[in-house]
Amino acid sequence: MKPFFRYAFLLLTAVAAASCGGHSAPTQPNMNTTPNAPPNVVPSPTPAAAVHAVSIGMGGNNFIDSQSGSGTTTIRVGQTVMWNWVSGSHSTTSGVCCSPDGRWDSGIRSSGSFSQTFSSAGSFPYFCMVHGSAMTGMVVVNP
């Protein structure tokens, strides 16, 4: 009888292997863990680039920065200045009065807004095409 059981055992082993389709035994899942990682850390979103507002024509022929209260706006590289018309017909034109340098020009308008994003550091003077040297401003861009 012993040979019969051996034969039956070998036969059952062969049938079982054939029915598995030749697949190997399942492996343990790959556990990628970071040692000492703090639990439940959620990355914070990248802040949007800041926009600095300048009022045009507030109280006369002026450029008034909302933060400094003067005609000088100080920002960082990558930030934007938005000029908002309050009253009168004015422009925001880059350059030293009265020679535009071509960096930006809103055109003469009496309402709405105009924005410029600054991609390099430096000091950027500007003026109003209507009022010339009587209405000037400066954007200082820090790295």
**Domains of the chain with CATH codes:** 51-142 (2.60.40.420)
Kindly list the distances between the CA atom of residue 129 and the CA atoms of 15, 25, 112, 135, in Å, as whole numbers in the listed order: 93, 80, 17, 9
Question: Is the pTM of the predicted complex or chain greater than 0.75?
Answer: no
Kindly list the distances between the CA atom of residue 107 and the CA atoms of 74, 111, 118, 122, 138, in Å, as whole numbers in the listed order: 23, 11, 19, 23, 18
CB 118 within 8 A of CB 81: yes
- Where on the phi/psi map is residue 65: left (φ > 0), alpha (ψ -120 to 50), or beta? beta
On the question of a cis peptide bond just before residue 98, with omega within 30 degrees of 0, the verdict is yes
Of all residues in the chain, the percent with pLDDT exceeding 70 is: 66
pLDDT surpasses 60 at 118: yes
pLDDT surpasses 70 at 2: no
Q: Which amino acid is at 122?
A: G
Q: Is 116 helix (H, G, I), strand (E, B) or coil?
A: strand
- Tokens at 14, concatenated: 């062969």
- What is the pLDDT averaged over residues 57-85? 96
Residue 128 burial by Cβ neighbours in a 10 Å radius (0-12, 13-18, 19+) = buried
- Half-sphere exposure of residue 11: CA atoms within 13 angstroms, side-chain side: 6
Q: Which residue has the higher pLDDT, 100 or 4?
A: 100
